[in-house]
């Protein structure tokens, strides 16, 4: 007897907001969530790529400059209203810049934290408020970085902003767990995306690949697969973690 067909979409009907979802890691996460049945809303400042990707996924798009606190709050509220609520929030938007510590200006430091950390706080506040009001729990997934644990020469402000995001994630897990909300961070290693493309060389790629026991760099899909797991019921008892997706480059 042939068993009946089962719906394998683990996130059917779930509502997901993804910042930085126009391309790169965020774009892959948005696509992976949609494949699993989630309705997605992408928040990004890249208007044409964002609209196009959202349309391909049957989702919606909201244009936002995450460096602007008022715009971030407004865009998140619009996304929640458009979806009719929110079950999953993924903060994937971020910026990266190589600068020696002696050259880091106040403006550069503030910009790094405004986008990599403060914007996540604002979207988390809005999403958690909606999740708590709905009384059905939720999933918060913040994309940090291997740099949050390892630091990095000429990455001081970037590493600090990502370490702060990990700490923020743990606070959210502690405060909102009683409402059935889990909060976790992912710490990707060297992932080949548009971010950092202008500063890397073929020699860099070969050197970084050699640091992994697997002998390769990661892909956005590698990160997306872990994000999807965290969004499902399978990860209902996983919270407050900073999970490495580094191919073994970092093991703590």
Q: Do 32 and 16 touch, CB atoms closer than 8 A?
A: no
CA 140, CA 91: separation in Å to the nearest integer? 8
Q: Name the catalytic one among 61, 158, 190, 208.
A: 158
- Which of 58, 36, 227 is closest to 139 using CA atoms? 227
Q: Do 187 and 149 touch, CB atoms closer than 8 A?
A: yes
Structure tokens at 129: 């408020």
Strand ranges, E, within the chain: 15-19, 39-44, 60-63, 88-91, 138-143, 181-188, 242-245
Concerning whether 237 is annotated as a catalytic residue, the answer is no
| Look-up of token digits 């290693």 | 189
Q: Which residues are catalytic?
A: 158
């Amino acid at each position: 007897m042939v068993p009946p067909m089962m719906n394998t979409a683990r996130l059917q009907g779930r509502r997901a907001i993804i910042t930085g979802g126009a391309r790169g890691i965020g774009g892959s996460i948005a696509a992976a969530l949609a494949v699993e049945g989630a309705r997605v809303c992408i928040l990004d400042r890249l208007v044409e790529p964002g609209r196009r990707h959202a349309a391909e996924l049957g989702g919606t798009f909201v244009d936002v400059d995450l460096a602007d606190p008022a715009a971030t709050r407004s865009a998140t509220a619009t996304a929640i209203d458009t979806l009719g609520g929110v079950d999953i929030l993924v903060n994937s938007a971020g910026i990266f810049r190589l600068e020696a510590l002696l050259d880091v200006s106040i403006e550069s430091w503030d910009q790094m934290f405004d986008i990599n950390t403060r914007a996540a706080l604002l979207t988390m506040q809005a999403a958690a408020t909606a999740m708590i009001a709905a009384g059905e729990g939720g999933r918060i997934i913040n994309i940090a970085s291997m740099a949050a644990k390892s630091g990095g020469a000429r990455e001081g402000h970037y590493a600090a902003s990502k370490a702060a995001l990990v700490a923020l994630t743990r606070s959210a897990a502690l405060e909102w767990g009683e409402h059935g909300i889990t909060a976790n961070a992912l710490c990707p290693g060297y992932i080949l995306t548009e971010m950092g493309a202008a500063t890397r060389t073929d020699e860099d790629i070969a050197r970084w690949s050699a640091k992994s026991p697997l002998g390769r760099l990661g892909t956005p899909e590698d990160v997306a697969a872990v994000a999807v797991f965290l969004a499902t019921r399978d990860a209902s008892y996983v919270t407050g973690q900073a999970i490495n997706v580094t191919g073994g480059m970092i093991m703590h």
